[in-house]
A and B are shown apart, each in its own frame.
Chain A
Amino acid sequence: MTTDHEPSDSTTVAGESGEPRRRIGVYVCHCGGNISDYVDVAAVRDAVAGDAEVVHVETTLFACSDATQNDMIEMIESQHLDGLVVASCSPKLHVPTFRAVSRRAGLNPFEYTQVNIREQCSWVHSDDRAGATAKAIGLVRAGIAKTAHSVPLEPITVETTPSALVVGAGVAGMRAATGLADLGLRVYLIERAATLGGWVDRWGPMYPNGADGHQLIERLREQVATRDAITVVTNAELVAKSGNFGNYDVDVRVMSDPPTTQRFRVGSIVVATGFDTYQPEVGEYGYGIDGVVTLAEFKELVDATPGPLRVGGRPVRTVTYIYCVGSRQPDGHQYCSRYCCAATVHASITVADHDADVAQYHLYRDIRTYGKLELLYQESRRRGSVYMKFPDDTPPAVRRDDAGHLVVRTTDTLTEGMAVDIPTDLVVLVTGMVPRENHDLTSLLKLPVGGDGFYNEIHPKLRPVETVVDGVLIAGTCQGPKNSFESVASGLAAVAQSGATLLKGVAELDPLVVNVDQDRCTWCGACQEVCPYGAIDRIVCDGREVATVNALSCKGCGGCAAFCANEAIELLGSTTAQIESMIDGMLEGSARDEELMV
């Protein structure tokens, strides 16, 4: 490990302006060779070593290793550093690591800055060592400049109420409710319908192993009923929410006669409002013709038929499935609904269980029976199902011929695009999940909706059930198509996430919110008008009307700042002083690039 540094003057030097200079430590990471193979990290170190506010700089093989973390702590303590810059990978990876290092060393975590010289430098400029090195110098200088303008910030701490509201009592919501109750939290489980259960309650055997949906829900209903901590309210809708993270007051309207409203105080809200099924237009793949059904209708038919299938009083000898109806459409729902392939394959095995002689044709674009569900696909093929791939631009056509027989014409790409007519008794349009129309709830909770119309998490991998609205979590298919076990898993993730904040009794919020300079503010109200979170209030201060920010409601987007005519609003962590000094730092770095070009 390279640590060949010369500790500079260890006393605090006063800057020209009389303000004490910052004491910043800089670590430039090799990342094994991920960075140092393409960036001259020693040159980066040397370039910033003389910078005014840099007290210590070194290169390190792995900044994130325990050994280096301990070195950093020692260095922060012994050199009385008041700022830390780590130039290594993307901030998505190790910001929590180095914030923790800072905290352990007694340095305010918000005086540490992460500089991305891997994903945004070494890896993209592996073809240009000089260019990459010059850029890295600029990026590190920008990080130093940002740190020099940082101020210590404390997380915003709020006491929380140990209770949760679960909106929607399908499989995800019910399982979340029992999980929350088992953590010792009070739970309010509200459901718009008259009974608990949602979609799964309507279903018989479900993939992967044939567990009966109705029976699963029956068991969950018992588990809900036997927990005193759970209050169930049916025929109910959330109609109002007020308060702040950790302590929301929610109003629930019960559609009794006359309607009543109940108020609960909750620390978190788990939204598990589920999905709707795609409903084809009449004429879409022959929908509307007798014998053409959706996957949902087919599932109902299979579940309700204990023996061989019959349609219109006649036994079904041939079933033809058309996949991706309403899904993966360039002009419609563009996403893959992900559960429908496995559900269809599973249903086809059930059909074969009841009557091994039924011919089954699966007309598909791609089969996505991922993971262990592959076994179902293999099983259905073993049982005689025939799979035929049709081209994206030539979907199958469904018609009744002159004799009144149902016929599906498809193009089979695997036999050189041959057109095939399949006489059939039943056509199943494999339809997927679509977002449920929930406009009132969406606007009430200010839930972010993604391009597909489902609710959006903050981060699909690292924060998969949290939304930007603190304390409001999403679970199950309101977030996107999921099967029942994925829904339950996300319900339990929401339980863990609620527990992580509510069991401590206090919650910490990121303090990177906007700040109003009340001397500059002349109260025009523009900021309040553009904030959808109601985070800005008007107060009277020294006889003047000015804006003030409720740090608990502010999400830290900074969107209001762009509307302030007086430049009185700044976002902490991205202040004008920070951004402009970063720009200067980058340009100093790339000035070297220019020298190299000659």
Chain B
Amino acid sequence: MVESDGASRVARRPRILVFSTNNISDPGIDLAGSQHLHYSPAVSTITVPCSSGIQPTWVAYALEHGFDGVFLAIDGDECAYLPDCNQRSSRVAARAQEMVKEKGIEAQRIRMSAICSVCSEAFVKHMEEFSAVLGELGPTGERVP
């Protein structure tokens, strides 16, 4: 079993799912580790080849099943696959927001920003800000059975 560090906290930390990309944003997130920066351990990352391939349904699924927020760490202008990756990824985020709104989940639980392969500090800052916002919002309703 996990040893408790003994610290007592009143509320659990907001759970954030990050979608990152193999060649651009994931190396940036890795770099935060190499630099021994810190962010909340309630942040976990799933990596895909390109942010344009993130399915809005995955984002909705995460929020419906217990994540409090989803952050799309998109390729931005550096995407090696698609020149219009930015627009496509924005479309994914917008569609995911529409999808969750219909289910009564706040659209601001979905955030998106380009994270470059050296954007470690920017990533950590995003996680801090997003955690704070989600902390205010509270947990994402009831778990969908």
Contact = CB atoms under 8 A, between A and B. Distances in A.
B53 to A, nearest CB: 2
Contact of B50 (A124, A138, A557, A582): A557
Contact of A142 (B46, B58, B77, B81): B46
A61 B102 CA distance: 49
A447 to B, nearest CB: 10
Contacts of A594: 12
B48 A135 contact: no
B67 to A, nearest CB: 7
Interface stretch (A157-165, A412-420, A542-550, A585-593): A585-593
Contact of A120 (B11, B33, B49, B92): B33
Contacts of B54: 562
A352 interface: no
Given A135-B41, A559-B88, A579-B58, A43 B23 contact: no
B41 to A, nearest CB: 3
B141 interface: no
Nearest to A588: B66
Nearest to A591: B66
A587 B66 contact: yes
A131 B57 contact: no
B2 A133 contact: yes
A512 interface: yes
A119 B48 contact: no
A92 B44 CA distance: 17
Given A448-B79, A579-B46, A562 B34 contact: no
A130 B2 contact: yes
B106 interface: no
B137 interface: no
Contacts, number: 177
B78 A555 contact: no
Interface residues of A, number: 68
Nearest to B46: A582
Contacts of B7: 130
Interface stretch (A380-388, A450-458, A499-507): A450-458
A597 B12 contact: yes
B113 interface: no
A450 B83 CA distance: 10
Nearest to A468: B80
Interface string A82-118: 0000000011100000000000000000000000101
B132 interface: no
Which secondary structure dominates chain B's binding surface?
Answer: loop
A400 to B, nearest CB: 42
B3 A597 contact: no
B42 interface: yes
Nearest to B34: A119
Interface in A116-153: 116, 118-135, 137-139, 142
B3 A562 contact: no
A123 B44 contact: no
B125 interface: no
B50 A91 contact: no
Contacts of B79: 448
Interface in B67-85: 67, 77-83, 85
A340 B76 CA distance: 29
Contacts of B44: 120, 135, 138-139, 142, 586, 590
Contact of A134 (B30, B36, B41): B41
B57 A567 contact: yes
A126 B32 CA distance: 12
Contact of A558 (B33, B34, B53, B83): B53
Interface of B: 1-5, 7-9, 11-13, 15, 17, 22-23, 26-27, 29-34, 36-42, 44-50, 52-58, 61-62, 65-67, 77-83, 85, 88, 91-92, 95
Given A562-B91, A592-B2, 11 more contacts: A119-B31, A121-B33, A128-B5, A130-B7, A131-B40, A557-B50, A562-B52, A567-B57, A587-B67, A594-B12, A597-B13
20 contacts: A92-B26, A92-B27, A122-B33, A123-B33, A126-B38, A127-B38, A135-B44, A451-B78, A456-B80, A459-B23, A512-B49, A561-B55, A562-B56, A571-B49, A579-B61, A583-B46, A583-B58, A587-B67, A592-B2, A596-B4
